[in-house]
Structure 1
């Protein structure tokens, strides 16, 4: 099934923003990378800013969907769910490296735009914090762990691992990477559970 022109443009914009940054990416560049006529681009998106926010929002919603689907697997033990959340982040960022780069470097220099992007990421962090708070209340995450910091650290730990591997052209989703991240995550788990 062929993707829509809007999806084609969004993918091209993601590639352009990740490669050139927001400021250096023009609508002409996006049209070229997306392989669409400028008229088609402007039919779907009036401005570069509108397109940028669409790309970020779509990506964050996709991340939330994938992570939430793992968190809802009640047939898994709490430990297996927590480790599956880590695995899903690693898989998602590995398969969406341009989005990962964009999310970890979204500051564009425009305060209003940066606040909008930050508010889009709030949905992700709210989802993660709710899930982790529930695990903490059930005694699975150590009581002395501050949940907001944990959610941020998980996002950054996996995201920056993927970025570094990408820049060094190293394999991303390997057993060694996964086990190292799992070992780090295991440090916050309450061993009594």
Structure 2
């Protein structure tokens, strides 16, 4: 099934923003990368900022959906769910490298836009912190671990690993990378007594 024009434009915009940065991306560049006429682009999005926020929001919602699906898998133990959340981040960032780069370099220099993006990311962090707090209350995460820092560290640990691997043209979602990141995360987990 072919993507809708709006999705085609969003993908072209994601590529443009990831490659050129926000300030250097123009609506002309987006139309060219999306392979649509400028009229089609403006029919769906009236400004570059509107399109940028749409791309970020769509990406964050997609990440939340994928991670939440793993967290809700009741066929896994809580500890396995936490480890699988790490695996899902690896898979997601591996399959969505441009989005990963954009989410980790999102701040544009415009205070209002940056605040809007930060609010969009708050949904992700709220979900992760809520999940991790429940695990901590149930004894699966060490009591001395600050949950906000853990949620941020997980996102950054996988995200920056993804960016580094991308720059080096190395695969991300490999057994070796997964094992190494799981070792870091395992230091926060404890076997429930």
**Normalization by structure 2: what TM-score?**
0.99
Q: Residues of 1 paired with 2:192 and 2:132: CA distance?
A: 17
For the pair 1:97 / 2:97, whether they are aligned, the reply is yes
Q: What secondary structure does 1:24 align onto?
A: coil
| Larger deviation, residues 48-57 vs 164-173 | 164-173
- Unaligned segments of structure 1, at least 5 residues: none
Give the match for residue 88 of structure 1.
Answer: 88
Give the match for residue 2 of structure 1.
Answer: 2
Q: How large is the Cα RMSD of the aligned pairs?
A: 0.7
Q: CA deviation at 1:191?
A: 3.5
For the pair 1:62 / 2:62, whether they are aligned, the reply is yes
Q: What secondary structure does 1:173 align onto?
A: coil
For the pair 1:156 / 2:148, whether they are aligned, the reply is no
Kindly report which structure 2 residues correspond to 1:7-22, keeping only aligned pairs within 5 A, or say none. Answer: 7-22=7-22
Q: Residues of 2 paired with 1:192 and 1:84: CA distance?
A: 18
Q: Residues of 1 paired with 2:192 and 2:94: CA distance?
A: 33
Q: Residues of 2 paired with 1:79 and 1:125: CA distance?
A: 19
Q: Residues of 2 paired with 1:153 and 1:169: CA distance?
A: 23
Q: Residues of 2 paired with 1:54 and 1:133: CA distance?
A: 30
Give the match for residue 167 of structure 1.
Answer: 167
Q: CA deviation at 1:141?
A: 0.2
Deviations 1:23-51 (A, max 9, x none): 00000000000000000000000000000
Deviations 1:88-147 (A, max 9, x none): 000000000000000000010000000000000000000000000000000100000000
Q: What secondary structure does 2:108 align onto?
A: coil
Give the match for residue 42 of structure 2.
Answer: 42
Q: Residues of 1 paired with 2:191 and 2:59: CA distance?
A: 35
Q: CA deviation at 1:171?
A: 1.4
Q: CA deviation at 1:192?
A: 4.4
| Larger deviation, residues 71-80 vs 52-61 | 71-80
Q: Residues of 2 paired with 1:191 and 1:83: CA distance?
A: 13
Q: Residues of 1 paired with 2:191 and 2:136: CA distance?
A: 12
Give the match for residue 27 of structure 2.
Answer: 27
Q: What secondary structure does 1:81 align onto?
A: helix
Q: Residues of 2 paired with 1:80 and 1:137: CA distance?
A: 16
**Normalization by structure 1: what TM-score?**
0.99
